[in-house]
């Protein structure tokens, strides 16, 4: 459905996207995960034909985006990081306007509008001016304008950014409802969002895809290793002693937490009780021994720290094009 081949993007003399090869199949919901500045918005803007790559090609449904941008845009719905809303219009007026911009005639708009209002939970505010809406509702209007023309592909740039927890749950449910009708690519820097919404994850770091796969595939690349955060009281000396004991039990250090100085360790998860016992028996004051919340988080941290990307399992490589 979407395929990019060796895509690069340069701003002035700075390269922000490097050799991006990605493919998205019809019906997938794919999450683009990366810290701020990783290149998510740039990638999505290129896919939405709003920005030209400096090199490489983008094909949507087999159509080259550079050669036929209008054709590609007709297949796409795009929610930018700041939705392009007109405050003085009512929700209904704005959606009719957005539909007309995409070439919808009056009859099609009349049929489609109630559907869109229903899909995005906007029926009750259809007559309301956009300026009076809360951030959560404005975001729904942003989604509604992206889907009004029933595009095959939906590209959502940080759809949950700035939403409160209740609004996040509502947005998540809306995205789930939209999945049947559209292939979806969404970006976020929030890991739990991706875990709960997407089939497949692309981790972007410094303009490159640093890891990709389903949550299960990515987790399995860690080979069942466990990650644990250990905090001992008593400053550097106590920390050094704790680290030596942990290393003696087969754990390896993965850095220290910036604020608390807690040690991030990697090793066999089954060894956590033995580690706790060893620290206490050595007279250390153990404040915390906490298995890390998710393997995916660990991969994300590795990627964000710029550690070498985890190897793709053999089964995942066949979908990738081999460059000659």
Interaction site with ligand ADP (CB under 6 A) = 11, 16, 34, 36-42
Residue number, 51 or 278, with CB nearest to ligand ADP: 51
**Dist. CA 76–CA 235, nearest whole Å:** 55
Residues with Cβ < 8 Å from 170, sequence gap 6 or more?
121, 136
Residue number, 96 or 205, with CB nearest to ligand ADP: 205
Residue number, 49 or 91, with CB nearest to ligand ADP: 49
Shortest reach from residue 83's CB to ligand ADP, in Å: 15
> Which parts of the chain are beta strand (E)?
2-11, 14-24, 29-33, 55-60, 63-64, 76-79, 153-157, 183-188, 200-205, 208-213, 225-233, 252-256, 263-268, 285-291
Residue number, 158 or 170, with CB nearest to ligand ADP: 158
294: phi > 0 → left, psi -120 to 50 → alpha, else beta; which? beta
Residue 62 DSSP code: T
For residue 213, the cross-strand partners are 201
Shortest reach from residue 160's CB to ligand ADP, in Å: 14
Shortest reach from residue 304's CB to ligand ADP, in Å: 12
**Dist. CA 303–CA 305, nearest whole Å:** 5
Residue number, 206 or 297, with CB nearest to ligand ADP: 206
Shortest reach from residue 113's CB to ligand ADP, in Å: 31
Residue number, 248 or 306, with CB nearest to ligand ADP: 306
**Dist. CA 293–CA 315, nearest whole Å:** 26
Long-range CB contacts for residues 9-12, cutoff 8 Å, separation at least 24: 9/39, 9/42, 9/46, 9/51, 9/53, 9/54, 9/207, 10/54
Shortest reach from residue 50's CB to ligand ADP, in Å: 11
Shortest reach from residue 36's CB to ligand ADP, in Å: 4
Residue number, 41 or 302, with CB nearest to ligand ADP: 41
Sheet of 263-268: strand order equals 252-256, 263-268, 225-233, 285-291
Q: Which residue carries 């754990």 as its tokens?
A: 251
Shortest reach from residue 158's CB to ligand ADP, in Å: 8
């Amino acid at each position: 459905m979407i395929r990019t081949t060796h895509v690069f993007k340069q701003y002035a003399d700075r390269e922000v996207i490097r050799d991006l090869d990605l493919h998205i199949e019809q019906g997938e919901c794919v999450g683009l995960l990366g810290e701020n500045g990783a290149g998510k918005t740039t990638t999505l803007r290129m896919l939405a034909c709003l920005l030209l790559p400096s090199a490489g090609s983008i094909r949507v449904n087999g159509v080259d985006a550079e050669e036929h941008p209008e054709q590609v845009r007709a297949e796409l719905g795009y929610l930018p990081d700041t939705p392009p809303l007109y405050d003085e219009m009512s929700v209904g007026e704005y959606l009719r306007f957005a539909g007309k911009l995409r070439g919808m005639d009056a009859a099609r708009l009349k049929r489609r509008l109630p559907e869109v209002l229903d899909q995005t939970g906007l029926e009750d505010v259809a007559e309301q001016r956009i300026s009076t809406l809360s951030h959560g509702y404005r975001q729904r209007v942003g989604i509604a304008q992206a889907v009004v023309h029933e595009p095959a592909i939906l590209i959502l740039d940080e759809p949950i950014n700035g939403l409160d927890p209740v609004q996040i749950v509502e947005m998540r449910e809306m995205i789930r409802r939209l999945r049947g009708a559209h292939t979806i690519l969404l970006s976020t820097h929030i890991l739990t969002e991706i875990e709960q919404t997407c089939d497949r994850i692309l981790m972007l770091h410094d303009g490159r895809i640093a890891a990709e796969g389903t949550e299960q595939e990515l987790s399995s690349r860690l080979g069942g290793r466990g990650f644990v955060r250990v905090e001992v009281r008593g400053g550097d000396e106590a920390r050094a002693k704790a680290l030596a004991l942990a290393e003696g039990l087969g754990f390896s250090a993965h850095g220290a937490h910036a604020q608390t100085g807690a040690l991030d360790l990697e090793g066999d998860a089954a060894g956590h009780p033995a580690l706790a016992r060893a620290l206490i028996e050595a007279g250390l004051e153990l404040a915390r021994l906490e298995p890390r919340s998710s393997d995916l988080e660990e991969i994300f941290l590795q990627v964000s720290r710029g550690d070498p990307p985890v190897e793709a399992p053999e089964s995942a490589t066949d979908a990738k094009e081999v460059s000659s």
